[in-house]
Amino acid sequence: MESLSRIACFVRSAESSSFSAAARKLGLSPAAVSKSVAKLESELGVRLFQRTTRSLTLTEDGARFLRDAGGGLATLEAAVANLASHAGQPAGTLKVSLSPGFGRAWIVPLLVGFLRRYPAVVPDWRFDNRAVDLVADGFDAAIGGGLELSPGVVARELARVHVVAVASPAYVGRVGAPKTPSELARHEGVAMRSAESGRLRVWTLRDREGHEATVEPKARLIFDDPEAIAEAARLGLGVALLALPHALADLKSGALVRLLPRWHADAGPISLYFAGHRGMPPKTRAFVDFVVEHFRRHGLAKRLSAGAR
């Protein structure tokens, strides 16, 4: 198994020309991958890579070994996963990338039922706001919004992300509530900076009759994390435009109140991404089916809809 691990480190490093990228796929540190490859080179008595501070390229021996070992590695990994299966049940490490807030609040609680049904599966989950490449980064699945669909990757929509204006009861009691979207410009706002563009997010609100209004409260505070924005709103520091997955619990508890209840913005879907090929591992198929069925059975898409509030 140790030799298999070292070969896996070599193959993944060769595929991506990077110890760091291989480390992300394998759930290891770049130093551990580099050390493992060095031990493999020592055991084989050949140099597999030419290393510089900026590049990692295969030697002639490395390229030959990759041709011979690459396909066999996939076969061996599948054999290990099958051997690990218990009574024909899905088994193995399940690597999933999730947006932090949504993942913690809406997906982690599903683990109680999922692991009771599939005890041989070991979740290895990464909570990160960055967009991942499902295939290149070695994930079995990802849950979030706006991921690029590379070849072979499919998306199953779980719910639409609706954005609503909220504030704390203390803020509303002190300043008052806006009656129209245009009045938001006079309120102090807890603004969102886009992690992708670096710009402040500007939302276009729509009402049930189809009218539109672009709103931009004064940016009293600027954060790039929705959980931090929710906390600032709870503290009475201003009006926030929050996606319902981050606001629903506070609206239920009364920590936040919804402003302009007839209006909301649509920020697109939260989707479950996975490689949709016939050879999908049983652990991935089990996870996809479990999450989709949970959202359907409990009507979560409707609960997360601004029209249901």
Q: What ranges do the domains of the chain cover?
A: 2-84, 88-309
Asked if the domains at 2-84 and 88-309 fall in one CATH topology, the answer is no
| CA neighbours closer than 13 Å in the CB half-sphere of residue 61 | 9
Q: How far apart are CA 306 and CA 220, in angstroms?
A: 25
Residue 287 φ/ψ, nearest 5 degrees: -65, -45
CB 286 within 8 A of CB 122: no
Q: How far apart are CA 66 and CA 12, in angstroms?
A: 10
Alpha helix segments (H runs only) across the chain? 2-16, 19-26, 30-44, 60-84, 100-102, 111-117, 169-175, 226-234, 244-253, 282-297, 300-303
Spatial CB neighbours of 20, under 8 Å, sequence gap ≥ 6 = 30
Q: Which amino acid is at 21?
A: A
Reported as a single tens digit per residue, the pLDDT across 145-199 is: 877 777 778 889 999 889 999 999 999 999 999 999 999 988 999 999 877 777 8
pLDDT given at position 115: 94
Q: Three-state SS for 123?
A: strand
% of residues, the chain, pLDDT over 70: 91
Structure tokens at 200: 């402040």
Reported as a single tens digit per residue, the pLDDT across 63-116 is: 988 888 876 776 666 666 555 555 568 888 899 999 888 899 999 999 999 999
Scan for tokens 């996809």, then name that residue. 288
CB 127 within 8 A of CB 98: yes
CATH classification code of 88-309 = 3.40.190.290
Q: How confident is the model at residue 21 (pLDDT cuts 50, 70, 90)?
A: confident
Reported as a single tens digit per residue, the pLDDT across 242-274 is: 999 999 999 999 999 999 999 999 988 999 999
What number is the average pLDDT over the span 210-219? 85
Tell which residue, 32, 27, 29, has the closest CA to residue 137. 27
Q: If you write DSSP's letter for every residue of 60-88 in order, what string do you get?
A: HHHHHHHHHHHHHHHHHHHHHHHHH-STT
CATH classification code of 2-84 = 1.10.10.10
Q: How confident is the model at residue 8 (pLDDT cuts 50, 70, 90)?
A: confident
Asked if the model's pLDDT at residue 15 lies above 90, the reply is no
CA angle in degrees (0–180, nearest 5) for 239-158-104? 60
